[in-house]
Amino acid sequence: MSSLKSAVIYAGLLVGALITLGPFALGLLTSFTTAHQFATGTPLAWPRPPTLANYAQLIGAGFGRALAVTAVMTAVIVLGQLSFSVLASYAFARLQFPGRDALFWVYVATLMVPPTVTVVPLYLMMAQLGLRNTFWALVLPFLFGSPYAIFMLREYFRAIPDDLVNAARLDGANTLDVIVHVVVPSSRPVLVTLLLITVVSQWNNFMWPLVITSGPNWRVLTVATAALQSRYNAQWTLVMAATTLAIVPLIIVFVALQRHIVRSIVVTGLK
């Protein structure tokens, strides 16, 4: 009975995995298919022969610049969010000052505000500062931490034993030394998980780059792919090639950080 139950569970997981991976496999096959074969053949047909013409056309159309802009934008935002979120979370978790808890919950309450509500005020601010259609307009609204990150890190920092912090204080460490040498190393799993969440959210960000930029200079992957669909209305082979290029870096990041993510889940469960 136990073996039958396990077989049913694994069969269900296999079916779920096939359903999940099916669209990605179809998109990958389509990206190596010529436009003529895609238009005349079946969607699940194997490319005959596989071709890199779609990728070459994307690079020639400036898609490589969009990939570079997205990578740099994401890296800057991740660095800023992690740095400022760690500092703010430590203050909310460990430091004592008047109104600390009230300020924290007011800040966390901004999670209930839909992002679309802030688009127009942010746009007006960037336009008045002369930053519209610049790189800094892409990163500044997301650079100084986020309510979700600060909430997540605050709860984790509160669980760090006081003995570790007190021992560092006895050795002459100041607050910044405690954060860098005690808190951050102890929180590596949750920081890696937060890094991955931030990378995925910013890599796939569409609304704000679409509003604040115009033209090809600061176009990100999501906007470039959307423009590709309107420019090449029927050439879905190009769209699938662009989608594949956008997904591959995220897969690489996830595989590289998978061990830390699993460790984060285990540590959180133990706590």
CA dist 104 → 112, 184, 198, 218, 251 (Å): 14, 20, 21, 35, 34
Report pTM.
Answer: 0.85
| DSSP state string for 152-216 | HHHHHHHTS-HHHHHHHHHTT--HHHHIIIIIHHHTHHHHHHHHHHHHHHHHT--HHHHHH--SS
**How confident is the model at residue 117, as a pLDDT?**
87
pLDDT for 137: 92
What domains appear along the chain, each with residue ranges and CATH number?
A: 1-51 (no CATH), 62-270 (1.10.3720.10)
Q: Which residue has the tokens 């496999």?
A: 25
Q: What is the pLDDT of residues 234-244, one digit of tens each?
A: 578 888 888 88
> What is residue 268's predicted lDDT score, i.e. its pLDDT?
52
Q: In the block, which residue shows the tokens 């912090």?
A: 165
At 64 the pLDDT is: 85
pLDDT in tens, 94-144: 888 888 889 999 998 988 888 888 889 999 999 999 889 899 999 999 988
Q: What is the pLDDT of residue 138?
A: 92
Series of mean pLDDT values for 10-residue runs along the chain (271 residues): 79 89 85 80 76 84 87 94 92 88 90 87 91 91 89 88 84 86 87 90 92 88 82 72 88 82 57 51
Could you count the other beta carbons within 10 Å of the beta carbon of residue 72?
A: 13
The pLDDT assigned to 270 comes to: 46
